[in-house]
Copies of this chain bind each other. A is one copy, B any other.
């Protein structure tokens, strides 16, 4: 398909997503199934999670495209077979390996929610149908591809909600869980609502905007002006190069009173570094201002360079704060920007970017919002990419039907009881476009109809029921893979990002808030309720009190 070809570059990149990226027990089960003659058994599995992450009430479903790419190349190589032959007991029959050589995903049908949709506990995110052995062999890899992708996209979406319209950049590569953890983080953070990343490879592979200025090391690598081999810069409009250092020094003297300083204590090395950086990036000048001292040195030096650049027709972008009291320092910086903006009649100076990047997490942003601050951009690393608050999403993969018969996993813990049979979830919307409820039905039931009352039941609490009359009904699962082919046009990353935004908009604010959010209701149809409970009673052993 055209879509897939467009992604070939990515396909090649992640070579480690291959059939052996799985748990050994999938292979040992395959052998035991095969030995038992179960090669023709037909199974249906649901992939779902039981609890939203981060004490929240929503989850962004992500990772679908990667799953489809995995299905597309699902095939054991000769060296895989050789390794398995060496690893399984010597008694393993050779015909099993011959069988494994023939295994691929052509017999599989995969239904899924659209990538980027908000989702909730117990909702099937994917339904996988096909030969029992093959469906089982896909389990671990599909979980690996969905779990972190969804966790990351959800985390990013939460930061986006906390940050409102501020710019958000992902800076986490160095602290991510492995190289691919970093790369996936960049991709799914962008999908979830970030504006870009510092990760250059993510930019190259996924066409994500990349961002970056310099580190403290750049500033400290300059000691004084003598290290500046060239201080001349051509004006933006062309013409004779002018000495940016001299212009800067003269501006620094002029603006000194605005900073209430009587003498200059600013670092000379820092100014040399900033001037050299401005000469390299006159049109995108952004500076780290906390290497020595923010007020006395960094801000004064930055504003002087920015004003000198302005003389040559260039507009600076802004500053980055990487330590200290971010609320306070951002307010101070913005005040200086405003003072200069007024005094020299430069309106753009007031609105320059103030980026904060020190150990930010969702709570820091919310707390800064409460304190009041003048930051308009965050660079976020460790806590975003490692999902500090909950570093794993617990998606599971459960058999719900075998050879046409429903299967359910019983558990003392009601939360762990699975819903049997082939099911279809629908999202019911109000007239204003709000999502009202997700309704899971047996696939054999008639879909809910627009403007017709439908009974929505709590799956386990008999008395909890409500009628809903939807203005719009959306079937959540679509067939994405059949006969060995991707059978839908796949959106690109940008389109999925838009989808996340739109999907989140359908959720009421109280469901999305950070503190004590309201759970979104996932209901079952009356038909599924009865089916589930009949089967439960039939299967659950009657205990004996003693």
Listed in ascending order, the chain A residues whose CB lies under 8 Å from chain B are 12-18, 20-29, 31-33, 35-38, 41, 43, 45, 79-80, 83-84, 87, 89, 91, 132, 136, 139-141, 143-145, 147-148, 171, 173-185, 198-201, 203-204, 210-218, 220-221, 223, 227-230, 265, 276-277, 279-284, 291-293, 296, 323, 382, 386-388, 391-395, 398-399, 402, 405, 407, 409-411, 541
Contact = CB atoms under 8 A, between A and B. Distances in A.
A140 B217 CA distance: 13
Contacts of A27: 200, 212
B28 A200 contact: no
A23 B204 contact: no
A21 B411 CA distance: 45
A178 B180 contact: yes
Given A16-B13, A32-B277, A201-B21, A220 B407 contact: yes
Contacts of A25: 198, 212-215
Q: How many monomers of this protein are in the complex?
A: 2
Contacts of A144: 173-174, 176, 178-179, 182
Given A212-B25, A276-B32, A83 B173 contact: no
22 contacts: A13-B16, A16-B179, A20-B201, A21-B182, A22-B173, A22-B199, A28-B213, A29-B218, A33-B221, A37-B229, A80-B204, A87-B200, A136-B217, A143-B175, A148-B177, A175-B393, A176-B392, A177-B177, A216-B409, A217-B399, A387-B391, A388-B391
B204 A83 contact: yes
A175 B392 contact: yes
Contacts of A323: 411
A83 B18 contact: no
B23 A148 contact: no
Contacts of A200: 20-24, 27, 83-84, 87
B178 A181 contact: yes
A132 B180 CA distance: 27
B410 A221 contact: no
A87 B203 CA distance: 9
Contacts of A392: 175-177, 382, 386, 388
Nearest to A387: B391
A458 to B, nearest CB: 24
A276 B35 contact: yes
Given A388-B391, A391-B386, A221 B181 contact: no
B203 A24 contact: yes
A239 B228 CA distance: 89
Nearest to A395: B174
Contacts of A179: 14, 16-17, 21, 141, 144-145, 180
A283 to B, nearest CB: 6
B173 A148 contact: no
A387 B386 CA distance: 10
Given A173-B23, A409-B220, A230 B36 contact: yes
A210 to B, nearest CB: 5
Contacts of A221: 33, 38, 41, 43, 132, 399, 402, 407
Contacts of A203: 24, 83, 87
A386 B177 contact: yes
Interface core residue of A87, A221, A541 (most chain B CB under 10 Å) = A221
A163 to B, nearest CB: 21
Contacts of A32: 214, 218, 276-277, 279-281
- Of all A-B residue pairs in the complex, the 10 with the closest CB atoms, nearest first, are A24-B212, A180-B180, A25-B212, A386-B391, A177-B177, A32-B280, A143-B174, A23-B198, A37-B229, A175-B392
Contacts of A83: 200, 203-204
Contact of A173 (B21, B31, B136, B227): B21
A178 B21 CA distance: 11
Contact of A177 (B184, B402, B405): B184
